[in-house]
Structure 1
Amino acid sequence: MNHSETIVAQATPPGRGGVGILRVSGPQAADVARLVLGKLPRPRHADYLPFMDNHNVTLDQGIALWFPGPNSFTGEDVLELQGHGGPVILDLLLKRITSISGVRIARPGEFSERAFLNDKLDLAQAEAIADLIDASSEQAARSALNSLQGAFSLRINELVEALTHLRIYVEAAIDFPDEEIDFLSDGKIEAQLNQVIARVNDVRAEARQGSLLREGMKVVIAGRPNAGKSSLLNALAGREAAIVTDIAGTTRDVLREHIHIDGMPLHIIDTAGLREASDEVERIGIERAWQEIEQADQVLFMVDGTTTRETEPAVIWPDFITRLPASLPVTVVRNKADITGEEARIEKVNGHSLIRLSARSGEGIEVLRNHLKASMGFAGNTEGGFLARRRHLQALALASTHLLQGKEQLTGTKAGELLAEELRAAQLALSEITGEFTSDDLLGRIFSSFCIGK
């Protein structure tokens, strides 16, 4: 990246609007101000000025804001022009600014990238800007704002600091064996290491919630034909999203609905009834159903309560349960409680959840909603939570793996040097989250997903 270049981009969405904003950042931002405005505005004051072309003919007039570096979003000199939101006017103004030597259109996310590289934001905070813009619920927006204000970064930095202290103690004991510190046997190292492992696990749990808020939980409704899967989709969606008939095999393809339960986004997926296919179209639908099931966060195993009294999934349909991934949470949903006379409720049966409800009448639907929220850790509010991305979860998982391997070295082989190396690797994994240690390739992928003017 060439930071000697000055960049410009539209910071408001494309199309017509009451206000259109152009943002300029870089060493020539002051020259842009003098050429377009005829003067350099007062720092951090709103000046109402004409915006002129290269013949000093007024293109528009509006508010000009001048932020000299390093006291700006990017850490560089920044000029912001707030004019009328017509696309023609904004395009003329963009052409005027880019006609100035050394000024070019910004790449997607380049303003945030410069803020990161100039230590105005860490990487997790920079990502939170995009997450705040893309938030699909109030809860997601609040959590993204918490991340932007540094809540997630603070948790990670505390872990890194704890690992730093632990590494200092371990490596000092290795380097100065004459001090007679039996750090492998006195229990202090193991106690500190266990504390760090527990704290990493806590942050992983919070990050998983943050990832679900950002990306949504994928819930697949699966079962035999005519069990009431489409009726359940409609009940959860609150509308007639799927065709419902008494004919078995009505649903032949995957149906998707995006809903929110108290701010938690869910991707509810209705699938074709699982059975021996009667034709090629149904066979394809069943194959797609299994693809969705294997990628789910949660499976609702729909059972027609009028056909069996069994509650154990392995007894109801052994072949179905055997094919499921071992780690996939399964909730048995006994449908048609309005016909069987069963009370709509949730209970635990041999370690799995069982919900009795009626998708047609709506009895027990609220029980299911609360179960979905609670099963993913959203039983309480997440006011102090933060958003997280898949790469954050992967980094935390990697750090946890290295810490557990380090504990094995400590308690098993008592190899101090190997313990120190595992601690170092865990610290590097955590540092990738905030960008303290991050490859240029990863930075490019992250910031390229941003809006042009961010």
Structure 2
Amino acid sequence: MLPRHHDPIVAVATAPGRGAVGIVRVSGRDLVPLIGAVCGRALAPRQATYLPFADADGAAIDQGLAIHFPAPHSYTGEDVLELQAHGGPVVLQLLLARCLEAGRDIGLRIAEPGEFTERAYLNDKLDLAQAEAVSDLIEASTEAAARSASRSLAGGFSSEIHTLRDRLMTLRMLVEATLDFPEEEIDFLEKADARGQLERIAAQLDAVLDRARQGALLREGIKVVIAGQPNVGKSSLLNALAGAELAIVTPIPGTTRDKVSETIQIEGVPVHVIDTAGLRETDDEVERIGIERTWAEIERADALVFLHDLTRLGEPAYDAADAAIAKRLPTTLSAGARLVPVFSKCDLAPPPAGAAGIAVSTRTGAGLETLRRRLLELAGWHASPEGVFIARTRHVQALRRTRDHLALAAAQADSAEPALDLLAEELRLAQICLGEITGEFTPDDLLGEIFSRFCIGK
């Protein structure tokens, strides 16, 4: 561990602001002297004790609960002291300053973001996937995301990864044993059922990857941009999807001059919907800037709802403008990979015969449910009967790299003259990719990036 990981640390563990209760948390080695200075007495392990918190002169800063968790039976695996006081910011800052003063001789310092959880990981209280789930549970924006993060924190995701790793290690052991003893002339591929083992591992990996992709959607959501010409109903559609009057709706073209964003839930998946300025030629400088921002949002969209006004279809100028917008769309959108054509105001005019798209009415609600389902399908969402676990983009990428290495290993196993050394190497690389998820093979710079995104005190 780096030298800083041996320093005792302290932080306010509750959110900034006023509340009924606030917590100051300390973690380090041998906190008994600090406990005596702040609490005025020794504390029974893992028992809440009501007492005054004393300043350097012995006067009470506040009265509250103190709990001592001796190592290794604590969140971080070190000695941990939690002081639960009244939740005023002045009280908590006084208590924090008192801890720093009392802990000066042992080098107590303010904790960095995520450092308590980082120490839990370094002291084998959590693996890296579980540590990340702590942050994901705190930041969950939907009930489904919170439940999935809780499953990952409890070890559901890690257990799946460990099972895959153990099966890979067993297969590696057989392959490498054959390499070490070629004189035995063992027909390894048939007697060890290498092909069958690889197929079963690959099938299990695909199942885990599918659930991880679902978990990544629950964590990160999907970004949906609503775009089209002015007055086609973009703001009305945002309001209808959100169930609230978020964007101003008027018959005046160019009302929306900057993006309006709202996060909604569809089957527990966060959907970040962005209403944008209408796309048209304009001499208005403010509106022109808004249109440039619209195109920037379209480039970054996971899905684009391209809105067409049914009451204006057939007008030469309108149709020409729609065609010009479609021609400028990014290739991935114009090819249909992330494009959702939607026809608005279907309560006033019917959609054209044979048109590919979803007809909606924000006034009657027609077609809105179909649009919601289409957005989820586009994101790749489907409900898993076994439940999903929260996952991050890096987890999904690591699983995909694992699958690539297994495919190369299978190609070696299926060849007429398999090279067992290459087969063994692909299995080793696959195991390393899995280890990146749980932290067995993780560089320090990645750890720093992961834990720096946590809140202070966690």
TM-score of the pair, normalised by structure 2: 0.87
Equivalent position SS for 2:212 = helix
1:334 matched to which residue of 2? 343
1:85 matched to which residue of 2? 87
1:319 matched to which residue of 2? 327
Q: CA deviation at 1:112?
A: 0.7
Matches within 5 A, 1:268-417: 268-275=273-280, 283-306=288-311, 317=323, 319=327, 323-325=331-333, 328-341=337-350, 354-380=357-383, 384-412=387-415, 414-417=418-421
Q: Output the CA distance in 1 between the equivalents of 2:98 and 2:359.
A: 66
2:68 matched to which residue of 1? 66
- CA deviations 1:142-183 (Å, max 9, x no partner) are 111111111111111122122112222222233333333334
2:159 aligned with 1:150, yes or no?
Answer: no
Give the residue type in structure 2 aligned to 1:17: G
2:52 matched to which residue of 1? 50
- CA deviations 1:56-102 (Å, max 9, x no partner) are 22222211111111111111111111112222222222222111212
Matches within 5 A, 1:247-262: 247-262=252-267
1:448 matched to which residue of 2? 452
**Contact 2:406/2:427 (<8 A) preserved:** yes
- CA deviations 1:169-200 (Å, max 9, x no partner) are 22223333333333457793233223222322
Q: Output the CA distance in 2 between the equivalents of 1:186 and 1:327.
A: 48
Q: CA deviation at 1:322?
A: 6.8
1:169 matched to which residue of 2? 174
Q: Point out the more displaced range, 355-364 or 77-86.
A: 355-364
- CA deviations 1:255-305 (Å, max 9, x no partner) are 322112232211112233445566665554444333322322222232333
Equivalent position SS for 1:241 = coil
- CA deviations 1:16-49 (Å, max 9, x no partner) are 2221211111113111111212221111111112
Q: Output the CA distance in 2 between the equivalents of 1:327 and 1:409.
A: 37
1:12 matched to which residue of 2? 14
1:28 matched to which residue of 2? 30
2:243 aligned with 1:238, yes or no?
Answer: yes
Q: CA deviation at 1:140?
A: 1.4
Give the residue type in structure 1 aligned to 2:345: K
- CA deviations 1:321-374 (Å, max 9, x no partner) are 67335583322222222122469xxxxx89xx7322213432111222233334
**Contact 2:303/2:378 (<8 A) preserved:** no
- CA deviations 1:180-233 (Å, max 9, x no partner) are 333457793233223222322222221122112112211122334443322212
Q: Output the CA distance in 1 between the equivalents of 2:350 and 2:59.
A: 80
Gap regions ≥5 residues in structure 2: 315-321
Distance 1:165 1:53, change over 3 A: same
Distance 1:185 1:340, change over 3 A: farther
Could you tell me the percent identity over the aligned residues? 55
Q: Output the CA distance in 2 between the equivalents of 1:96 and 1:302.
A: 60
**Contact 2:39/2:53 (<8 A) preserved:** yes
Q: Output the CA distance in 2 between the equivalents of 1:451 and 1:371.
A: 35
Distance 1:61 1:301, change over 3 A: same
Give the residue type in structure 1 aligned to 2:297: E
Gap regions ≥5 residues in structure 1: 310-315, 344-348
Q: CA deviation at 1:246?
A: 3.9
Q: CA deviation at 1:451?
A: 1.7
Distance 1:96 1:253, change over 3 A: closer
1:313 matched to which residue of 2? none
Q: Point out the more displaced range, 321-330 or 210-219.
A: 321-330
Give the residue type in structure 1 aligned to 2:98: R
Give the residue type in structure 2 aligned to 1:386: F
